[in-house]
């Protein structure tokens, strides 16, 4: 069984309880990691608190150099890391390389620069306003982007001058172990970065409630996010939450319908639909609705479901048997509530592995369960509208507000609609994701932002010196 990384050393857990890591494509056991315990949390927080004073006083340029070296090593080991992620959580290898590995490397490198360039002081009248690292950060991350979500928290925290205790998801923890090895190799001072594998109700809750933790940054479900926020509130620590989504893809009548549907389906199905910002609701004008359904079905049927290491695979397995059961329940619920299953369904595409077919629903009405709740699988709902106001109302009609898209004949018209959406990011006519721009949501999609300068600001306190 692997060990924990605490105080600059690989350390045995205080718990003998292992967590088995399973390859979702083969259902085979591939590794074991410690379940972790509250005693491990105590040790890691103590190490982080001990390291904080010196690390926070380390010159920003020096902190940036550590991150730059880590980014270089991650790029050098990108192929190996991608294979780890493809095995660990089932992402197709090409996607695991480009998005799951090289994109986090870009984010890591960006914080190597921002560590020094981001302004820490400003003058307001007779006051000097200074920004200082908040302290010890507990970072709790999910399994769907097992490296990217870690980097989006750990990199800005370290750049700001904070020390970190990380709990990666126990479902897919191996990329976190590989990153911990990189941080160890670049020589981060002991205690600056610590990692404890384990289960959320034990390790995660102990971290969130710990009085020695100054901030919790959590990515995961909205239900779990509420629990984290409640525990953190007992000691009034700062909380950053990146939670669920049910993002809308609005296609206006003058848009390129074929392109909008093709890109929209791709976005919904990316990472087997296990993406919080997936455009899982396609909102199309009634006059074009039947054609949009036809195009979506045709596109979905072109997606090959299979082995993550097969170059022709577009959709790998879901991460676990539990996740597959969850998605299957939603597909059944959609049919029970009257939506029309026009592609995919609950049949198993392969005998082994946690696979589901890419699924498309037509005849979906606002308020249906599959239109309101995050499914976290390759399931697309198509919803008709008659006016722009109705399209916006449908798009804004869930408790979430993480991402979305608008397609129109002109950028100006699409932007006008996008400004009316209560959501953190909107793609305009297929505008691509920018890993250097702030990411986060409105409403129950979360609190705070990740990536870019605003991502760094999350880890800074503000002090006014009256001169």
Q: Which residues form the catalytic set?
A: 242, 276
For residues 325 and 372, give the distance between their C-alpha atoms in angstroms, rounded to a whole number: 19
- Residues belonging to the chain: 467
Both structure tokens of 298: 């045709």
For residues 58 and 61, give the distance between their C-alpha atoms in angstroms, rounded to a whole number: 8
Q: What are phi and psi of 344, to 5 degrees?
A: 75, -150
Q: What are phi and psi of 117, to 5 degrees?
A: -85, -25
User: Quick check: helix, strand or coil at residue 464?
Assistant: strand
Cβ proximity of 184 and 8 under 8 Å: yes
For residues 311 and 299, give the distance between their C-alpha atoms in angstroms, rounded to a whole number: 18
CA atoms within 13 A on the CB side of 289: 17
Buried b (16+ CB within 10 A) or exposed e, 143-163: bbbbbbbbbbbbbbbbbbbbb
Q: Give the residue among 353, 346, 381, 388 at the shortest CA–CA distance from 367.
A: 381
> Which distant-in-sequence residues (6+ apart) come within 8 Å of 34 by Cβ?
1, 2, 3, 4, 12, 13, 15, 17, 18, 19, 40, 196, 197, 198
For residues 9 and 73, give the distance between their C-alpha atoms in angstroms, rounded to a whole number: 19
The pairing of strands 238-242 and 446-447 is: antiparallel
Both structure tokens of 358: 């890419």
Distances in Å between the Cα of 435 and the Cα atoms of 12, 75, 453 are 36, 16, 11
Helices (H) and strands (E) in the chain, counts: 16, 20
353: left (phi over 0), alpha (psi -120 to 50) or beta: left
Angle of helix 78-89 versus helix 60-76 axis, rounded to 10: 70
For residues 139 and 163, give the distance between their C-alpha atoms in angstroms, rounded to a whole number: 10
For residues 114 and 156, give the distance between their C-alpha atoms in angstroms, rounded to a whole number: 8
> Which distant-in-sequence residues (6+ apart) come within 8 Å of 217 by Cβ?
137, 138, 139, 140, 153, 157, 239, 240, 448, 458
């Amino acid at each position: 069984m692997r060990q924990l990384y605490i105080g600059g050393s690989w350390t045995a857990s205080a718990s003998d309880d292992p967590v088995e890591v399973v390859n979702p494509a083969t259902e085979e056991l591939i590794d074991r990691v410690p379940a972790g315990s509250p005693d491990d949390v105590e040790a890691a927080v103590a190490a982080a608190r001990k390291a904080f004073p010196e690390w926070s006083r380390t010159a920003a340029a020096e902190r940036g150099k550590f991150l730059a070296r880590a980014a270089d090593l991650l790029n050098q080991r990108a192929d190996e890391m991608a294979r780890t992620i493809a095995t660990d959580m089932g992402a197709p290898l090409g996607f695991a390389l480009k998005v799951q590995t090289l994109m986090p490397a870009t984010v890591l490198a960006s914080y190597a620069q921002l560590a020094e360039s981001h302004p820490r002081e400003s003058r307001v009248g007779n006051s000097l306003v200074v920004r200082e690292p908040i302290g010890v950060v507990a970072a709790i991350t999910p399994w769907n982007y097992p490296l990217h979500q870690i980097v989006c928290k750990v990199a800005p925290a370290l750049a700001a001058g904070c020390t970190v205790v990380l709990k990666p998801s126990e479902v897919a923890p191996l990329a976190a172990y590989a990153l911990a090895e990189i941080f160890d190799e670049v020589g981060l001072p002991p205690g600056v970065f610590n990692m404890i594998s384990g289960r959320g109700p034990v390790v995660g809750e102990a971290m969130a409630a710990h009085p020695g933790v100054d901030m919790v940054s959590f990515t995961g479900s909205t239900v779990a996010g509420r629990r984290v926020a409640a525990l953190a509130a007992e000691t009034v620590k700062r909380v950053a939450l990146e939670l669920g989504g049910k993002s809308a893809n609005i296609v206006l009548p003058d848009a390129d319908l074929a392109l909008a549907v093709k890109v929209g389906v791709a976005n919904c199905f990316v990472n087997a639909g296990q993406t919080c910002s997936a455009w899982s609701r396609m909102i199309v004008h009634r006059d074009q609705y039947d054609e949009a359904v036809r195009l979506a079905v045709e596109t979905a049927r072109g997606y090959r479901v299979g082995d993550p290491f097969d170059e022709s695979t577009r959709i790998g397995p879901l991460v676990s048997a539990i996740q597959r059961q969850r998605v299957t329940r939603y597909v059944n619920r959609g049919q029970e509530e009257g939506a029309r299953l026009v592609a995919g369904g609950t049949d198993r595409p392969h005998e082994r592995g946690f696979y589901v077919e890419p699924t498309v629903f037509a005849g979906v009405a606002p308020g249906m369960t599959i239109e309101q709740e995050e499914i976290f699988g390759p399931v697309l709902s198509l919803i008709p509208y008659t006016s722009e106001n109705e399209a916006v109302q449908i798009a804004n009609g869930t408790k979430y507000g993480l991402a979305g898209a608008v397609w129109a004949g002109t950028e100006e018209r699409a932007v006008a609609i996008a400004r009316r959406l209560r959501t953190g990011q909107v793609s305009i006519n297929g505008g691509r994701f920018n890993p250097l721009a702030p990411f986060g949501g409105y409403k129950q999609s979360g609190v705070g932002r990740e990536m870019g300068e605003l991502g760094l600001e999350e880890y800074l306190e503000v002090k006014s010196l009256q001169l």
